[in-house]
Amino acid sequence: MKSFKRKIILSLLLIAGVSSCSKNTQDSDLALNTINAEEIKTDGTFEVMELPAPPYVQSAVGNRAAKKVVVNLEVIEEVGELANGVEYNFWTFNGTVPGTFIRARVGDEIELHLKNRDDSNFPHNIDLHAVNGPGGGAEATFVAPGKEAVFTFKALHAGLYVYHCAAAPVGMHIANGMYGLILIEPEGGLPPVDKEFYIMQGDFYTKGAYGEKGLQEFDINKAIAEQPDYVVFNGNTGALMGDNELQVKVGETVRLFVGNGGPNLTSSFHVIGEIFDKVYTEGGTTIMENVQTTSIPAGGAAIVEFKADVPGDYVLVDHAIFRAFHKGALGKIKVSGEENPNIFYEHKTKDQKL
């Protein structure tokens, strides 16, 4: 029965990928997905989810049965670095921007614990876009400093979803870094790849201009005007640069879970020198192929996949390009290994050697 259901879901994913403009196919896919997921029984076991810090994620769910999983998130308000010499009072889930990745499968029952550390100054909560229920869990999890709230939800829809704090003023909580991603894998899991990474874009609004040193306060007027001083990946201009570059080998397949916390800007996500073999557009089940730049709305996500064919440095950008070179939206994937002259060959002319 399980493999029969899996075949149906895989077939529908395939059909959705081939004829994504067929309305009937998409409707029946979504309906089947929802009905089946509600009927999926958990296997009676439970586990406490490990929560690696970004840019890393848990291993794939594979073809395991649905189960109960416990996710422990702690809200931490803490000064950290936004850029070299620039400090900011981040509000975080588990001490990182973005918050730790959550990975489960359709049919799982997720028991989410939200603790607000006792040295916090504000109440917080969590709205997970993967939840079917009031506020995505926001009302059930509104917690004062030093308190903990718990709720359980059943994952009904496969996809990559944003979670964020929804305490008022919502824009300020998100602008301070309170967002992350939750992946709900379909039954049978996503196809295996060699490397997976977790990246989330965010825009930041500081009293000082870009690069002005010292502790920078949040600037609400710039936030309302949607004029950020910083647009960064993973909460810091250097989060994916230098010693933090993502490491990949020639020949490996790469999957990026890319989210956009906003709070305001839409990302034009691009990897310089690569073409995405697949994009799960907006984190849903429709797959686009051969994509150069994918649009990721604030509060949205995309899964992008490519194969590393040629060694070198591949730069991640928001292709609204002033954000990349003047506001920090840069990261790097270092591909190491043998040259592949069949695909890329640089002619060493006399002029180039000079």
Cβ proximity to Cu ion, 103 vs 124, nearer residue = 124
Amino acid at 328: G
**Tokens representing 343?**
């695909």
- What SS3 string covers 167-183? CCCHHHHHHCCCEEEEE
CB of 71 closer than 8 Å to CB of 55: no
Q: How far apart are CA 287 and CA 134, in angstroms?
A: 29
Minimum CB separation of residue 343 from Cu ion in Å reads 46
Closest C-alpha among 302, 324, 317, 310 to residue 248: 310
Single out the residue of 50, 168, 166, 148 nearest to residue 102, CA to CA: 50
Residue number, 16 or 167, with CB nearest to Cu ion? 167
Amino acid identity for residue 193 in this structure:
V
CB 124, min distance to Cu ion, A = 3
Q: Which is nearer to Cu ion, 178 or 265 (CB)?
A: 178
Match 């192929």 to its residue by tokens.
289
Tell how strand 276-280 and strand 300-307 pair up.
antiparallel
Spatial neighbors of 145 by CB under 8 A, at least 6 apart, are 116, 117, 118, 119, 120, 121, 122, 123
Q: Which is nearer to Cu ion, 16 or 178 (CB)?
A: 178
Minimum distance, C-beta of residue 260 to Cu ion, in the bound complex (Å)? 18
Our CB check for Cu ion shows the closer of 120 and 264 to be 120
Choose between 124 and 157: whose C-beta lies nearer to Cu ion: 124
Beta-bridge partner residues of 68: 46, 109
Q: How far is the CB of 173 from Cu ion (least distance, A)?
A: 3
* Least distance to Cu ion, CB of residue 248, Å: 34
CB of 243 to Cu ion, least distance (A): 30
Q: How far is the CB of 165 from Cu ion (least distance, A)?
A: 3
Handedness of CA 9, 31, 40, 93 (dihedral sign): positive
Closest residue by beta carbon to Cu ion: 165
Q: Which is nearer to Cu ion, 80 or 189 (CB)?
A: 80
303: left (phi over 0), alpha (psi -120 to 50) or beta: beta
Distance CA 3, CA 10 (A): 10
Q: CB-wise, 178 or 317, nearer to Cu ion? A: 178
Q: Which residues bind Cu ion (CB under 5 A)?
A: 124, 165, 167, 173, 178
Q: How far is the CB of 303 from Cu ion (least distance, A)?
A: 26
CB nearer Cu ion, residue 119 or residue 289: 119
Q: Give the integer Cα–Cα distance in Å for 315 and 312.
A: 10
| CB of residue 170 to Cu ion, shortest distance in Å | 8
User: Alpha-carbon distance 98 to 215, whole Å?
Assistant: 20
Whole-number Å distance between alpha carbons of 185 and 60: 8
